A and B are shown apart, each in its own frame.
Chain A
Amino acid sequence: MLLSLFRILITALVSFLGLTILTFGISQQATTPLHDYQSTHWFPQYFEYLGYLLTANWGNSDLSGNDVFTELLKHFPASIELLSFSLILAIFVGLFFGIMAAKNRGGWLDKGLMSATLVGYSMPVFWWGLLLVLFFSLYLGISPVAGRIDYAYYIQPITRFMLIDTLISNHNYGSAAFFNALNHLVLPAVTLSWIPMAIMARMTRSSLVNILKFEYIRTARSKGLPENRIIWIHALRNAMQSLLTIGGLQISILMTGLIIAEYIFAWPGVGSWLLSSVSRQDYPSIQAGILALSSLVILFNLMLEIMANYLDPRKRRPLS
């Protein structure tokens, strides 16, 4: 088991090195060199670049001259907040609808839900976001159009996670600020969790339908265990497994959604920062944005592999 853990770590490290070659290439496009390299050839320069990356010296923006790493840290919490909220939404709502459908297998609720998920995972995120804004914000007026919190609340940034800051910082708005921040989170999160949610629901349903046929379930039923209990226990166990198997794919879909949702909802995270840097051709910032988002994907995959390794020693490479 230790051996396979070692192997997983090495794989992640190799991926990260491959990624830095890409971002090194991007950083070479900057108008002024990112760092004062000692050597003139690109090959030794790359190793110097790695050294700079590890010491949090990611260069300065071509435009504002600000330190890119500091800028990145300012944008990162907003993205993480949206991403984790969406992930939770996708897992739980997906799980819930999956169970609903499995319990009513063959019924029209099942049919309806499964058709909805089919529609769900074919939905282009950028269109879906616009439709949600049009309906919930502009037509019904029950959800804000953009931003992280109403500006009537002034929350001093501490952690830069708005939900946390509204709870721990010193202000006199009470819980209203927290709920206001939550309100701002809902629409972007629904936009980007839509596809993962649909996938989750389909997976939960199909595996539950399988499991419910097995002998031991019948035994459990005949012993008089409540149906809901059986379903939830197995559903949860199953959800865990599905998460591990499709986790890499889910994070990849979420990340795509994140970039688009941040763009649509003017969400001040790494994705919108990356896009505006691309349009400004600010290469040091582009390099940092891509490095950060991709590292996040690699890190997430690493976590999944370690978890899978921990849960099931026989299953060494669940993601291949």
Chain B
Amino acid sequence: MNYAKVNGLSMRLKHFKAKPSWLMFSKNNGALFGSIILAAAVLLAIIGPWIAPFDPAQQFSSRSFHPPVWNQGGNFTHFLGTDDLGRDLLSRLLHGARLSLFLAGFIVLIAAGTGVLIGAIAALLPPLLRSILMRIMDLLLSLPSLLLAIAVVAIIGPGLSNAVYAVILVLIPQFVKLTQNSISQELCKDYCIAAKLDGANSIRLLTKHVGPNIVPAVIVQLTFSFSTALLDIAALGFLGLGAQPPLAEWGTMLAESRSYIQYAPWTMALPGLAIFLTILSINLVGDGLRDALDPQLNQ
């Protein structure tokens, strides 16, 4: 799912407004709210393994389906309760946060690096080759990322590392397209033409002049790709094609707990809530970043 497009569009439509409405305020509030949650999630992902009360794989067989503290029978030993094998949910969620966020970050950095590089090379290619490359990127972009990831996993087999490769592959085209578009736009601008007339070569032009100007757009795209990566990894885990149990990954935890939806609803509710809150906060932050950083859209 590409939220960047949605937000871009709503922004484009929004900026026509003469005076800032309450929505603009709530947007800022939203961005603030989002950054707080996201910061908390990142902090928990970093320090999680130290503050987690138990080993995420440790099974307390006599304490399976221990309810969370706010339910009847719950207590503070297992703050968020335990799952079917008596594993502490809080510990699993904390380790899951580290896994999910770090993986998503890793995926996005690799995808962005590769994508920007391909995009920059594409901008230097002769028009025919460039247009072929861009057609391929268009095709990859028009297909739903999950479908594409399923296709890749079908070829190379299920498992967490393969799911990661699949999602990287799926995210690259967005960056290629973005970079190539921004570069060709920048290259038409006066300062570039001036630099060209001055005798600067293409590579130098790209790194010195165009580069700094496309960074904001890439950063905005990074946040939205981050949420796509997180969601796709979780979705693949949920469908049994990504991380395999007993690994504490949010999507996989959700898939495992699906069997206990009636008996122990919290085992299903909590990993889902974690995914939802993280995605929500990233989207809010992304919106805010777009307002602040993207000069083209923030006229």
A residues sitting closer than 8 Å to B (CB atoms) are 11, 14-15, 18-19, 22, 25-26, 29, 105-106, 111, 114-115, 118-119, 121-127, 130-131, 133-134, 138, 195, 199, 202-203, 206-207, 209-210, 213, 245-246, 248-249, 252-253, 255-256, 259-260, 263, 274-275, 278-279, 283, 286, 290, 293-294, 297-298, 301
Whether A122 and B235, one on each chain, are in contact in the complex, defined by CB atoms closer than 8 angstroms, is: no
| Contacts of B231-272 to chain A: CB distance below 8 A | 231, 234-235, 238-241, 251, 254, 258, 261-262, 265, 268-269, 272
CA–CA, A206 to B12, complex, Å? 10
CA–CA, A298 to B3, complex, Å? 20
B16 at interface, CB cutoff 8 A: yes
| Given A18-B136, A195-B1, 12 other A-B residues pairs in contact with their CB atoms under 8 A | A26-B151, A111-B22, A118-B30, A122-B283, A124-B231, A126-B235, A126-B254, A278-B154, A278-B158, A290-B147, A297-B143, A298-B139
B14 at interface, CB cutoff 8 A: yes
Task: Pick the 8 closest A-B CB pairs, nearest first.
Answer: A127-B272, A122-B280, A255-B144, A256-B146, A15-B139, A122-B279, A252-B144, A206-B13
| Contacts of B110-128 to chain A: CB distance below 8 A | none
Residues of chain A within 8 A of B139, CB atoms compared: 14-15, 18-19, 298
Q: How many residues of B contact A (CB 8 A)?
A: 57
**Measured between C-beta atoms, what is the minimum distance from A141 to chain B in Å?**
12
Q: Chain B 12-29, CB within 8 Å of chain A: the 1/0 string?
A: 011011100111001000
Whether A138 and B21, one on each chain, are in contact in the complex, defined by CB atoms closer than 8 angstroms, is: no
Whether A11 and B276, one on each chain, are in contact in the complex, defined by CB atoms closer than 8 angstroms, is: no
CA–CA, A203 to B7, complex, Å? 10
CA–CA, A195 to B276, complex, Å? 13
Could you jot down 16 A-B contacts, CB within 8 Å? A15-B139, A15-B142, A26-B151, A122-B279, A134-B268, A206-B13, A209-B21, A252-B143, A256-B144, A259-B239, A260-B239, A274-B150, A290-B147, A294-B147, A297-B142, A297-B144
Chain A interface, >50% SS class: helix
B55 at interface, CB cutoff 8 A: no
CA–CA, A274 to B146, complex, Å? 12
Whether B142 and A124, one on each chain, are in contact in the complex, defined by CB atoms closer than 8 angstroms, is: no
Q: How many A-B residue pairs have CB under 8 A?
A: 156
Contact of B10 among A18, A130, A206, A298 (CB under 8 A): A206
Given contacts A256-B144, A298-B142, contact A130 B261 (CB under 8 A): yes
Given contacts A138-B262, A202-B10, A256-B145, contact A121 B17 (CB under 8 A): no
Residues of chain B within 8 A of A25, CB atoms compared: 155
B6 at interface, CB cutoff 8 A: yes
Whether A249 and B6, one on each chain, are in contact in the complex, defined by CB atoms closer than 8 angstroms, is: yes
Whether B144 and A253, one on each chain, are in contact in the complex, defined by CB atoms closer than 8 angstroms, is: yes
Whether A130 and B258, one on each chain, are in contact in the complex, defined by CB atoms closer than 8 angstroms, is: yes
Closest residue of chain A to B3 (Cβ to Cβ) is A121
Whether A133 and B283, one on each chain, are in contact in the complex, defined by CB atoms closer than 8 angstroms, is: no
Whether B142 and A209, one on each chain, are in contact in the complex, defined by CB atoms closer than 8 angstroms, is: no
Residues of chain A within 8 A of B275, CB atoms compared: 124, 127
Contact of A124 among B9, B138, B276, B284 (CB under 8 A): B276
Residues of chain B within 8 A of A294, CB atoms compared: 143, 147
Residues of chain A within 8 A of B231, CB atoms compared: 124
B204 at interface, CB cutoff 8 A: no
Residues of chain A within 8 A of B163, CB atoms compared: none
B2 at interface, CB cutoff 8 A: yes
